[in-house]
Amino acid sequence: MRNRHKFTFVISCAIADMSAMIVSTLIFLKFATEESLGWDALFLNKMIPITVLSWLFSVSYFKLYKIDVLFSLEHFFRNSWRAFLTQRILWHVYIYIFQDDISYFFESKANLIQLSFLLFYFLLSRTIFTLVIRKIKEWVFKRFTVAIWGFNLTSIQLASYLETNSFFIHFVGILNENNQVTYSSKKEFTQALTEAIDDAAKANINELYIVCKPDFISDLNSFFELGDKHCMRLKFIPDFSSISKKHFSSTHLNNFHVIKPRYEPLQDAYNRLAKRVFDIVFSLLVIIFILSWLYPLLAFLIKRESKGPVLFKQMRTGKKNEPFWCYKFRSMYTDMGDEAEQAKRGDSRITPIGKFIRRTSLDEMPQFFNVLMGKMSVVGPRPHMIKHTTDYNSHINNFMVRHFVKPGITGLAQVTGLRGETKKVSDMKRRVNTDIDYVQRWSIITDIKICILTVIVTLKGDENAF
């Protein structure tokens, strides 16, 4: 049941999606020939092959129709929209290259109708696919049965994952969840597991996940042979839950099992590239459309109010603990106090115009040049002064984890009320934990959300901004 029905479902989705892409192109061609924009005939004749090739590239790149052991609806939906967006980008790039006129994007009714059709199709089809996949189990007589043996934190987490993604399998649960036995020796464990495999075979279990401590297993081959005799697949998963309470991230390096303390999306080269492209595009837009007129205006006001440079630069801690010059609009008098001291509410060092630009976060705007130079990111943990990094690193164990990524102009901590002066180590711990949460859960969507929230918080006014 697992492979046959999954294969049928995935292939049906693939055929339906490709058919929709071709139909949308035919709709486009029908309306394009009636428009007065002057579409090139040779260009239009190649649209269906371009549609097919661009869609095949998109679904292959995002592995939309990949047939895994388990099927995740969440991944399927996410990759569907990624593939759709990529295909649309490739489509419009092709139009721009060969038509060489921006009016074909905004003035073409054919483009709008085609896009509307595809959006409607994807919304409707994914709804239907969801309903179908939830009913597949009811249509199958011979089920592929999966179970877990071993009751511990790891097996509970595995059970939750299998239940969530058990569209093409029949998951019966943890076989010994009501029989919590502590094994004192390998002999005891071997005997219990042998009996469990025999019992699972009698219960017609097709695949059995065995979750146990690595030091209990002396000979995997003997268990695999026993499973083979019963025509049952065995899969061993080591239980490391007793070693640490933290959630590990596990990967494979060839035949080596690698355990990492956390999952970091930005370790993936494609994710780093996506974030860098986002940073470059975003910073260029800000520099061209905002800083081009804001910089001379604030420069005039800053110079008029107090002597000193327009920009204030300070050495901050960057990615991999490497120092860099961080730029800001100068908001303080140049001859008052220690630069390494954090700004306080009512700080006498701050100039009148400085109070305004700090409260509205305009003093941070020159850091978009830092982003463009690759020293910072639009979104990330805020960079600290070198002295503060050294001080807090000696008090907070995981403080340096926030430096695994580039520092940001704004960040998750800043939009969740953790901005400003840190009077106590506990305040910094909360900020660090939020930064680490960002490192572990990064996505382009997260960055966009944080940028939007930053604008909202700035417009509303942040009481910690002073």
Answer whether residue 329 shows pLDDT above 80: yes
- pLDDT, mean of residues 176-202: 84
Token digits of residue 443: 């996505």
pLDDT winner (highest mean) among 134-143, 145-154, 163-172, 288-297:
288-297
* pLDDT score, position 120: 95
Tell me the pLDDT band of 420, cut-offs 50, 70 and 90.
low
pTM confidence score: 0.66
H/E element holding 237?
A: strand 233-238
H/E element holding 209?
A: strand 207-212
Q: Which residues pair with 259 in a beta bridge?
A: 250
* pLDDT score, position 143: 74
Q: Which of the residue ranges 159-163, 213-217, 333-337, 411-415 would you say has the lowest mean pLDDT?
A: 333-337
Residue 256 or residue 221, greater confidence: 221
Instruction: Round to whole Å and give the CA distance between 409 and 378.
Output: 5
Provide the b/e sequence for 31-41 (b: ≥16 CB within 10 Å).
ebeeeeeebee
- Domain spans, the chain: 2-138, 143-245, 269-460
Answer whether residue 320 shows pLDDT above 60: yes
* pLDDT score, position 273: 92
* pLDDT score, position 458: 86
Token digits of residue 122: 């994807």
Q: Which residues pair with 204 in a beta bridge?
A: none
Contact 419, 413 (CB under 8 A): yes
Look at residue 315 and give its three-state secondary structure. strand
Question: Could you report the per-residue pLDDT of 256-296, keeping only the tens digit for each?
Answer: 777 788 889 999 888 999 999 999 999 999 999 999 999 99
Q: Which residues pair with 251 in a beta bridge?
A: 258
* pLDDT score, position 422: 65
Contact 329, 311 (CB under 8 A): yes
* pLDDT score, position 58: 92
Question: Could you report the per-residue pLDDT of 25-47, keeping only the tens digit for each?
Answer: 999 888 877 776 666 665 667 88
* pLDDT score, position 466: 45
- pLDDT, mean of residues 241-248: 64
**Interior angle at CA 330, CA 349 and CA 429, nearest 5:** 75
| Beta-carbon count within 10 A of 335 CB | 9
Answer whether residue 341 shows pLDDT above 70: no
Answer whether residue 344 shows pLDDT above 70: no
**227 HSE (CA, 13 A, CB side):** 17
Contact 198, 206 (CB under 8 A): no
Residue 9 or residue 367, greater confidence: 367
Question: Could you report the per-residue pLDDT of 115-134, keeping only the tens digit for each?
Answer: 999 999 999 999 998 888 87
* pLDDT score, position 26: 92
Tell me the pLDDT band of 333, cut-offs 50, 70 and 90.
confident
Q: What percent of the chain has pLDDT over 90?
A: 40
- pLDDT, mean of residues 408-435: 85
* pLDDT score, position 343: 60
Tell me the pLDDT band of 255, cut-offs 50, 70 and 90.
confident
Answer whether residue 62 shows pLDDT above 60: yes
* pLDDT score, position 285: 95
Q: Which of the residue ranges 96-110, 180-194, 395-409 would you say has the lowest mean pLDDT?
A: 96-110
Q: Which of the residue ranges 104-118, 208-222, 402-416 would you say has the lowest mean pLDDT?
A: 104-118
Q: What percent of the chain has pLDDT over 70?
A: 86
Question: Could you report the per-residue pLDDT of 381-394, keeping only the tens digit for each?
Answer: 999 999 889 888 88
Place of tokens 């479902």: 9
Q: Are strands 256-260 and 207-212 parallel, antiparallel or unpaired?
A: unpaired
Instruction: Round to whole Å and give the CA distance between 101 and 110.
Output: 15
- Can you spell out the DSSP letters for 24-49? HHHHHHHHHTTSSS---HHHHHTHHH
Q: Are strands 207-212 and 323-329 parallel, antiparallel or unpaired?
A: unpaired
- pLDDT, mean of residues 179-201: 84
Strands (E) in 125-179, as ranges, are 145-149, 170-174
CA-closest candidate to residue 329, choices 350, 347, 344: 350
- pLDDT, mean of residues 340-346: 59
CA-closest candidate to residue 158, choices 208, 83, 216: 208
Contact 321, 406 (CB under 8 A): no
Q: What phi and psi, each to the nearest 5 degrees, are found at residue 172?
A: -95, -10
* pLDDT score, position 9: 83
Answer whether residue 200 shows pLDDT above 80: yes
Question: In what side-by-side order are the strands of the sheet with 207-212?
Answer: 170-174, 145-149, 207-212, 233-238
Q: Which of the residue ranges 90-94, 164-168, 220-224, 436-440 would you say has the lowest mean pLDDT?
A: 164-168
Place of tokens 């394009």: 32
CA-closest candidate to residue 337, choices 347, 352, 325: 347
Answer whether residue 452 shows pLDDT above 90: yes
Instruction: Round to whole Å and give the CA distance between 72 and 112.
Output: 32
The CATH H-level superfamily of 143-245 is Response regulator (3.40.50.2300)
**339 HSE (CA, 13 A, CB side):** 13
Answer whether residue 142 shows pLDDT above 80: no
- pLDDT, mean of residues 77-104: 81
72, 257, 296, 423 from 285: Cα distances, Å: 37, 44, 17, 36
Place of tokens 């071997």: 190
H-type alpha helices, 165-266: 186-202, 220-229
